[in-house]
Structure 1
Amino acid sequence: MGEEVEQQEFSRADRTQHREKVRRNLDVFARMLREARFDTDDPMTGLEVELNLVDENGDPALKNAEVLEAIASPEFQTELGQFNIEINVAPATLREGGLTTFEESLRRSLNDAEEKASRSGAHQVMIGILPTLDEGHMEVNSLSSNPRYKLLSEQILSARGEDITINITGRDRLSTTADSIVPEAACTSTQFHVQTSPDDFADYWNASQAIAGVQLAVAANSPYLLGKELWRETRIPLFEQATDTRSDELKVQGVRPRVWFGERWVTSVFDLFEENVRYFPALLPITDDEDPLEVLESGGTPNLPELRLHNGTIYRWNRPVYDIAGGVPHLRVENRLLAAGPTVADTIANAAFYFGLVRFLAESERPLWSQMSFSAAEENFHVAAQQGIDAQIYWPGIGQVRATELVVRRLLPMAAEGLDSWGVEASVRDRLLGIIEQRCLLGTNGAEWFVNRMHQRGSEDRFDALRATLLEYRERMHTNEPAHTWD
């Protein structure tokens, strides 16, 4: 969820000073791009997974501080809600068994954390939205104790000038309000990171945008919120609405939302950072003492703290990241649109599909994004979020096509070739992409399994059925058998 900050108030002068410093950061960043000062030799990939905590009955357990103390591992960090934690898996190169390393490391860490967390009466669940959340969990006292979250909530509500409204219609309809950003905490995701050179960044970002709808369709895992059956990936509209700083009037005026798919294909990573500075006022105008130009001209690597903090408060589904490792700067695409779970095997299969497909498309002679409009990619994204594995999406040269058919017939071979380019072993490639293939052939992902089980329970009390189904889900999650095999 980003760097920790202290609780504070901001004056008009703070905001003016911060704006000037962010623009100075942006100028230095542009110079660094021109002078090719980035690590590009051996691209790394990374993985983060956000988790929910539940008690023995399947209800939310607001115990993340207690659980993190018991786990006592730097891999695990706090998240926005007290019923959330996050695990950051160490980066790896795919050519050196990175996918296997991710899978083994994630399983080992989660098993160890589950054993320790259970002593506190809390259990981990990998699912996009915890289906047993109710209105009582959507209050400000559910925020984690990190001052960043309270401060961010205050700034978003202040910028908005009124309570947050949530309106989502699926099979059921949800209409509610919130006086904090706690509804955002309901959204737990998996984030894939792929490092790239400045020259290749635009291709990787554009490719990530173009396949976002396909990713969502095959991996949807968030069908319930506050007892309502909504979109197959309800995280998407919920996150878009829960952090919206715009009043209705500003929406009508065309002001951009902070949770943003974007509005165009890009030609440089600079385009994205420049848009962030040009379109969005700072939510956390905290100014550091670093003089980035002085650091750069003395041979050092500037941290660009204001630019990075600002970038962290603009929630693109594919986010550009500037970071430093071992004193050397690098760039990453952070693919952050998928839900967590259902299992580690499903998660790593999703990673293999993304890493392979995005590389194939980024290195294609005729870019996919030169054959489709940006608005078509955005429409695919929201249609897939709403319909999940049954989604019909647009694809160049085909027109409207069922996402699962597109994946099986066209995209899996592309992803396989991309994984070969990364240097992934054939046996690992085939096993992980085989999970995606079977998911498509059987028409079953996490969301579809959960909804089907709920419908089978018939006329039971909705929350009793959600608890029972979630406990069954958690039990099967620990088998690490992919969700399409559960029935």
Structure 2
Amino acid sequence: MGKQLDSHAFTREDRQRYREKVRRCLDVFALMLNDFTFDADKPLTGLEIEINLIDDTAAPAMRNAEVLARVDDPMMQPELGLFNIELNVPPRLIAGSGFEEYQRDIGARLDRAEAAAAGVGAHLCLVGTLPTLRQEQAGPEALSGDERYKQLNQQILTARGEDLIIDIRGMERLSMFTDSIVAEAANTSLQFHLQVSPDTFPNYWNAAQAIAGVQCALGANSPYLFGRELWAETRIALFEQATDTRPAELKAQGVRPRVWFGERWVTSIFDLFEENVRYFPPLLPVIDDEDPRQVLESGGVPRLAELRLHNGTVYRWNRPVYDIMNGRPHLRVENRVLPSGPTVADMVANAALFYGLVRAFSEQDRPIWTQMTFSAAEENFHTAARDGIESRLYWPGIGEVSVTDLVLKHLLPAAYDGLDRFGVDPGVRDRLLGIIEGRCITGLNGAQWQAETVTKLQDDRQLDRVPALHAMLQRYVEHMRAGSPVHTWPIG
């Protein structure tokens, strides 16, 4: 969620000074894009995995501080809710056996975290929306102790001026008011980072936007929220609504939401940062002491702290990132489309599909985004979130097609090509994309397995919805720990 914040009451003067400072940072960023050398010689990748904590009955375990104190891993930190933690996996190249290294590293860290959690009666669960979370557990008292979450909660509600409305219509309907953003903590995501140069950023970002619907459909793992069966990837709708700073009147005026797919293909990373500054008022106006222009003119690397913090409060599904590592600035595409889980193998396979497709599509002679409208890409995304692996999506040159046929016949070859361009070991490539192929052939992903298992438990054992969700999640965690990809799991 961003940098640490101290307890602070923001004033009108803070907001005015922050706005001015963000604009100065944007001007300096423009100068850097024209004249500065960004680190892109060997493009690193990165992963972030958000994780739920549950108890022995599969109910949420509000114990993230205790778990983190025991695991003592600097790559793990608290997330929004007391039942969430996050793992930031150290970045690496995916050439050769890079994906294998990811899988081993993630597995080892999660095993250590699970052992630590078990010591306080908790367990790790990799799932998109926590199906056993109850509405009464999603109030302000469930916020993590981190000051930045309290500030974010306060600022979103202050900007909105009224309670948040969650109204999701899917297989069933959920309609509720809430006085905090904690409902969003029901979501846990899987995020991919790809380091790129200023010149190649727009191609990679556009490619990521074009495939977002495909990613979402195949990786959907969030069918249940507060006891209701909603979308295959309910997490998308929940995130869009649980952090919405706009009351109904501003929505009617067309004011842009902070959780945003975007509205156009881009030609520069600057387009996205400039949109952030132009369209979105500050949420957390924390001002840094740095004079970015002075730092740049003296030959240093500006932190651009205000620009980066502001960017972190605009929740694009594919986000631009400016960062500094080892004294050198770099740019990244941060892909935020996917849910956590179901297994480490599934998540790494999802990574292989993403990196392979964006590499292949970003280097096409006639890029895919020149053949489809931006609105078509956005419609694909929301269709996929609603219908999951049963989605029918639009694709240039084909028209409307089932997502599984699209992937099997057209996109998997492109992903193979893209991974080859990264130098991924062929055996690793074949194993990971084979998981994607298996998902398409069986029609079984995390969301589908959850929904079919709950139906079977309700029908065969005559369970009501809530006990069926708990029984399903207990089976889910058993399969998750065993590690076989979700498309191989038995129903029930």
TM-score range, shorter chain: over 0.9
| Structure 2 residue aligned with 1:314 | 314
Q: Does 1:476 align with 2:474?
A: no
CA deviation digits over 1:130-169, x for unaligned, max 9? 1000011110000000010011000000000000000001
Q: Does 1:368 align with 2:357?
A: no
Give the distance between the partners of 2:469 and 2:442, measured in 1 at CA: 24
SS in 1 for 2:324: strand
Q: Does 1:74 align with 2:74?
A: yes
Give the distance between the partners of 1:184 and 1:320, measured in 2 at CA: 22
| Structure 1 residue aligned with 2:55 | 55
SS in 1 for 2:9: coil
Q: Does 1:110 align with 2:131?
A: no
| Structure 1 residue aligned with 2:222 | 222
SS in 1 for 2:300: coil
Contact 2:219 2:350 in 1 (8 A): yes
| Structure 2 residue aligned with 1:199 | 199
TM superposition shift of 1:7:
1.7
Give the distance between the partners of 2:12 and 2:135, measured in 1 at CA: 36
TM superposition shift of 1:172:
1.0
* Identity within the alignment, %: 60
Q: Does 1:380 align with 2:384?
A: no
| Structure 2 residue aligned with 1:404 | 404
For residues 459-474 of structure 1, what are the structure 2 equivalents within 5 Å? 459-474=462-477
In structure 1, give the amino acid aligned to 2:247.
S
For residues 31-50 of structure 1, what are the structure 2 equivalents within 5 Å? 31-50=31-50
In structure 1, give the amino acid aligned to 2:201.
F
TM superposition shift of 1:97:
2.1
| Structure 1 residue aligned with 2:246 | 246
TM-score by length of structure 1 reads 0.99
Contact 2:96 2:425 in 1 (8 A): no
Give the distance between the partners of 2:391 and 2:262, measured in 1 at CA: 21
Give the distance between the partners of 2:137 and 2:422, measured in 1 at CA: 43
| Structure 1 residue aligned with 2:440 | 440
TM superposition shift of 1:40:
1.3
> Unaligned regions of 5+ residues in structure 1, if any?
none
TM superposition shift of 1:6:
1.1
| Structure 1 residue aligned with 2:135 | 135
| Structure 2 residue aligned with 1:16 | 16
SS in 2 for 1:244: coil
Give the distance between the partners of 2:7 and 2:180, measured in 1 at CA: 16
Give the distance between the partners of 2:65 and 2:202, measured in 1 at CA: 39
| Structure 1 residue aligned with 2:348 | 348
SS in 2 for 1:478: helix
| Structure 2 residue aligned with 1:486 | 489
Give the distance between the partners of 2:471 and 2:484, measured in 1 at CA: 19
For residues 81-120 of structure 1, what are the structure 2 equivalents within 5 Å? 81-120=81-120
Give the distance between the partners of 1:277 and 1:283, measured in 2 at CA: 12
Give the distance between the partners of 1:464 and 1:102, measured in 2 at CA: 35
In structure 2, give the amino acid aligned to 1:253.
Q
Give the distance between the partners of 1:331 and 1:137, measured in 2 at CA: 38
SS in 2 for 1:444: coil
| Structure 1 residue aligned with 2:25 | 25
Give the distance between the partners of 2:448 and 2:442, measured in 1 at CA: 11
CA deviation digits over 1:83-139, x for unaligned, max 9? 000001110011142211111100011011101110010100000011000011110
CA deviation digits over 1:268-300, x for unaligned, max 9? 000000000000000001111100011111111
In structure 2, give the amino acid aligned to 1:264.
R
Give the distance between the partners of 2:404 and 2:365, measured in 1 at CA: 25
What is the alpha-carbon root mean square deviation over aligned residues?
0.6
TM-score by length of structure 2 reads 0.98
Aligned residues: 487
TM superposition shift of 1:196:
0.3
Give the distance between the partners of 2:292 and 2:137, measured in 1 at CA: 42
In structure 2, give the amino acid aligned to 1:302.
P
TM superposition shift of 1:36:
3.1
TM superposition shift of 1:461:
1.8
Give the distance between the partners of 2:97 and 2:425, measured in 1 at CA: 7
Give the distance between the partners of 1:256 and 1:12, measured in 2 at CA: 23
| Structure 1 residue aligned with 2:332 | 332
- Regions of 4+ moved over 3 Å: none
Give the distance between the partners of 1:115 and 1:215, measured in 2 at CA: 32
For residues 414-425 of structure 1, what are the structure 2 equivalents within 5 Å? 414-425=414-425
Give the distance between the partners of 2:224 and 2:119, measured in 1 at CA: 28
Q: Does 1:121 align with 2:124?
A: no
In structure 1, give the amino acid aligned to 2:213.
G
Give the distance between the partners of 2:420 and 2:145, measured in 1 at CA: 44
TM superposition shift of 1:186:
1.0
Give the distance between the partners of 1:188 and 1:38, measured in 2 at CA: 31
In structure 2, give the amino acid aligned to 1:462.
R
Give the distance between the partners of 1:32 and 1:239, measured in 2 at CA: 33
Give the distance between the partners of 2:12 and 2:109, measured in 1 at CA: 45
Give the distance between the partners of 1:213 and 1:55, measured in 2 at CA: 33
In structure 1, give the amino acid aligned to 2:405.
E
In structure 2, give the amino acid aligned to 1:217.
A
In structure 1, give the amino acid aligned to 2:482.
T
Give the distance between the partners of 1:434 and 1:41, measured in 2 at CA: 30
Contact 2:54 2:83 in 1 (8 A): yes
SS in 2 for 1:95: coil
